């Protein structure tokens, strides 16, 4: 392990620092304030060969080592944490897995433009229910001939939507748990691949972060990264390396804040002396410098191991966890040294203080990293006695639904919808106060962002009246657009609608909204975007324009009389799924008829849940009667 960087490393540092000071620092404040992605700067980084540092030149990379890579991220983050993470996510999380697991063809097609900076990359692992526990992945990739059909979504994705190339994970076999996850390379602009709203973040505001949505995205099998079922392994090893980048980002942000605090403390005079000479301040500065040096050595140490192709997972985790934990302390002290000035917008330390926080969270929270480190030094914990989880094949968020998309002219579609609802038992002569609290409403008409201007709400209220429904909305309509009070929005975090009839108009179907309606008896979706996720989660859907469909629907539901008020409308039933056999073989013992179900594994022999029978070791015997594996049918 080297205790000193080489001349070449320091030459690179000078070059990147000069660039960062000249091109990045001047725009960082504005980009932060306005959440502007530094398109120009990233382009320049590509031209300088800094978007593919650790990759061979034959794939468009710079052919440098991982310390060089860490130095680049560090120097960029020193002036702007956002630019640091853009390079880190691009290099470590997208280009690297393609380099490490891609076929020659995939490397030529995807790595080369990434490493040469012609394209930007991103990585999609995190989902609503799969954060630290990637085993909760719900995005599915169902085989269909030479293709996989991706459905689901990812959240908190760095560099989306500016990235061109995405490495994402999806479940290819729901019965195999972690081993049923595979990785795929997809491209921006593929049919069915869309983006959600960009998040409004605390820090790193110039880096773009948004949701990925997959709606029947057809991915050719040649775009599967690694082997079937290797997705989890690929994701984990990708994150191992990514941690060097994030550690370097944390180090850079802290370094920038430290330098600013040092300079400020030498200039700021109180009690006739620069405050730097006040022991309270000088000790702070000493501690900051010590922590920075420790972080830097840890990061370069992990990078050296990686270059030497030695195991570096634990060291990378330690470096990221340490650099970000002490990084938070450093930016805190740096801001403190600045006093009131540091609390003002426009000060680098103010931005560094906000930018730093994310580094203890992403690419493995520091809590998860301690789990990783502990597993390296202690080993795997003994098995806990837990009841076997029966995992069922995933259905949509809203469970089993009819998913009837109505066809025909606008009038025919509306008529079919009303006929279907009536045949399901809905009586449209009864009514309800439009402002009935959501939990007490038997029916609800919900406004999504797709309804357009606020004036269109009047039309929805008319529809609600004719449908005997209350009025509600999605979260953005209440929270961002403020069309309705916040207590009218439906979603996992808001109020749940568990009653009879839900009619969503212009609702796209964000996961958290669908979770709030998953026990509704009937879900009707009206939206002009045929790819809206809600159509996969509805009983009846009409693809059509709001202004055309809604008036027709109001007319069709109008019985010409005032609606009758009914205390307790009857509960309408949901479609019942027919239970199907497992989609894998259950092996049965010839000695006692014990059933080996791969979903449950065999706790007695420490066989993990999800282990296929074929993968049981030769010496495995029936846990009940001791028959050999060959005696199973």
Active site amino acids:
363
Q: Residue written as tokens 């030498």?
A: 266
Contacts with other proteins in 564-593 (CB under 8 A)?
570, 573-581, 588-593
Hey, which residues between 70 and 109 contact other proteins (CB under 8 A)?
none
Return the number of the residue (262 or 575) whose C-beta is nearest other proteins.
575
Q: How far is the CB of 631 from other proteins (least distance, A)?
A: 8
Residue 603: phi and psi, rounded to 5, are -55, -30
Nearer to other proteins, 562 or 633 (CB): 633
Name the minimum Å distance from CB 632 to other proteins: 10
Q: How far is the CB of 625 from other proteins (least distance, A)?
A: 8
- φ, ψ at 285 (rounded to 5°): -65, -40
370: helix, strand or coil: helix
| Joined tokens for residue 390 | 């029966």
Site for other proteins in 153-172 (CB under 8 A): none
Q: How far apart are CA 421 and CA 465, in angstroms?
A: 16
- Closer of 23 and 175 to other proteins (Cβ): 175
Residue 556 or 575: the one with the smaller Cβ distance to other proteins is 575
The 610-629 site mask, x for binding other proteins (CB under 8 A), equals ---------------x----
Nearest to 197 by CA among 35, 392, 364, 363: 35
Q: Is 408 helix (H, G, I), strand (E, B) or coil?
A: coil
DSSP state of 226: S
Q: Which is nearer to other proteins, 118 or 402 (CB)?
A: 402
* Minimum distance, C-beta of residue 416 to other proteins, in the bound complex (Å): 20
Map tokens 């706790």 to a residue: 603
Rounded Cα gap, residues 333 and 111, in angstroms: 41
Q: Which two tokens stand for residue 588?
A: 């049965």
Tell me which residue of 250, 218, 268 sits closest to 322, measured CA to CA: 250
* Angstrom distance (rounded) from CA 611 to CA 603: 11
Instruction: Select from 85, 67, 63, 64 the least CA-distant residue to 76.
Output: 85
With a CB cutoff of 8 Å and minimum separation 6, the contacts of 320 are: 243, 244, 246, 247, 250, 359, 363, 364, 366, 369
Place of tokens 């609800």: 444
Coil, strand or helix at 503: strand
Residue 30 neighbours by CB distance under 10 Å: 11
Q: Which is nearer to other proteins, 422 or 454 (CB)?
A: 422
- Between CA 467 and CA 484 the distance in angstroms is 19
Which residues in the 377-396 window bind other proteins by CB under 8 A?
390
Least Å distance, CB 76 to other proteins, is 54
What's the closest the beta carbon of residue 227 comes to other proteins, in angstroms?
Answer: 31
Measured from the CB atom, is 7 or 579 closer to other proteins?
Answer: 579
Q: Are 398 and 533 in contact (CB under 8 A)?
A: no
Number of residues that bind other proteins (CB under 8 A): 20
Shortest Å, Cβ 573 to other proteins? 5
Given the rule CB under 8 A, which residues bind other proteins?
Answer: 390, 570, 573-581, 588-593, 625, 631, 633
């Amino acid at each position: 392990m080297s205790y000193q960087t080489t001349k070449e490393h320091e030459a690179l540092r000078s070059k990147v620092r000069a660039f960062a000071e000249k091109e990045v620092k001047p725009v960082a404040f504005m980009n932060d304030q306005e959440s502007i992605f530094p398109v120009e700067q990233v382009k320049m980084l590509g031209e300088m060969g800094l978007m593919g540092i650790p990759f061979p030149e034959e794939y468009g990379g710079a052919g440098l080592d991982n310390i060089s890579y860490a130095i680049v991220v560090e120097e960029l983050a020193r002036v702007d944490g956002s630019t640091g993470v853009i390079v880190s996510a691009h290099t470590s999380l997208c280009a690297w897995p393609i380099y490490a697991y891609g076929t020659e063809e995939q490397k030529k097609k995807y790595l080369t433009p990434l490493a040469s900076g012609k394209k930007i990359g991103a990585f999609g692992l995190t989902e609503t229910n799969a954060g630290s526990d990637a085993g909760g992945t719900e995005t599915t990739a169902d085989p269909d001939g030479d293709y996989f059909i991706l459905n689901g979504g990812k959240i908190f994705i760095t560099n989306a939507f500016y990235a061109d190339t995405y490495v994402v994970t999806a479940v290819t076999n729901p019965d195999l748990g972690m081993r049923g996850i595979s990785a795929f390379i997809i491209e921006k602009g593929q049919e069915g691949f869309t983006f959600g709203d960009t998040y409004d973040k605390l820090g790193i505001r110039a880096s773009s972060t948004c949701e990925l949505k997959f709606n029947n995205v057809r991915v050719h099998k040649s775009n599967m990264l690694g082997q079937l079922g290797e997705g989890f392994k690929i994701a984990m090893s990708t994150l191992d390396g990514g941690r060097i980048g994030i550690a370097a980002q944390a180090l850079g942000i802290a370094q920038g804040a430290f330098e600013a605090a040092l300079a400020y403390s030498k200039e700021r005079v109180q009690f006739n002396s620069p405050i730097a000479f006040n022991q309270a301040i000088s000790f702070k500065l000493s501690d900051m410098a010590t922590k920075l040096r420790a972080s830097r050595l840890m990061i370069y140490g992990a990078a050296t191991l990686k270059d030497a192709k030695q195991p570096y997972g634990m060291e990378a985790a330690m470096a990221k966890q340490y650099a970000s934990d002490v990084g938070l302390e450093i930016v805190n002290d740096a801001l403190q040294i600045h006093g009131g000035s540091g609390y003002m917008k426009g000060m680098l330390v103010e931005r560094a203080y906000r930018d730093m926080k994310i580094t203890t969270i992403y690419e493995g929270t520091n809590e998860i990293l301690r789990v990783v480190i502990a597993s390296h030094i202690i080993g795997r914990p003994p098995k806990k006695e837990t009841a076997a989880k029966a995992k069922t094949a995933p259905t949509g968020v809203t469970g089993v639904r009819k998913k009837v998309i109505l066809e025909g002219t606008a009038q025919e579609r509306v008529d079919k919808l009303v006929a279907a609802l009536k045949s399901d038992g809905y009586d449209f002569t009864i009514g309800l106060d439009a402002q009935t609290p959501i939990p007490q409403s038997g029916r609800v008409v919900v406004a999504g962002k797709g309804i357009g201007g606020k004036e269109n709400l009047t039309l929805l209220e008319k529809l609600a009246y004719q449908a005997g429904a209350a009025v509600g909305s999605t979260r953005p309509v209440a929270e961002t657009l403020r069309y309705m009070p916040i207590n009218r929005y439906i979603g996992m975090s808001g109020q749940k609608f568990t009653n009879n009839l839900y009619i969503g108009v212009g609702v796209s179907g964000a996961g958290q909204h669908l979770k709030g309606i998953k026990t509704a008896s009937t879900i009707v979706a009206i939206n002009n975007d045929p790819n809206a996720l809600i159509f996969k989660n509805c009983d009846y859907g009409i693809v059509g324009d709001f202004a055309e469909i809604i008036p027709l629907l109001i007319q069709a539901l109008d019985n010409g009389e005032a609606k009758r008020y009914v205390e307790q409308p009857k509960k309408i039933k949901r479609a019942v799924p027919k239970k199907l056999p497992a989609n894998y073989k259950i092996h049965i013992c010839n000695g006692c008829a014990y059933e080996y179900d791969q979903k449950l594994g065999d706790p007695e022999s420490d066989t993990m849940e999800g282990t296929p029978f074929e993968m049981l070791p030769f010496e495995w015997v029936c846990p009940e009667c001791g028959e050999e594996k060959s005696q199973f049918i």
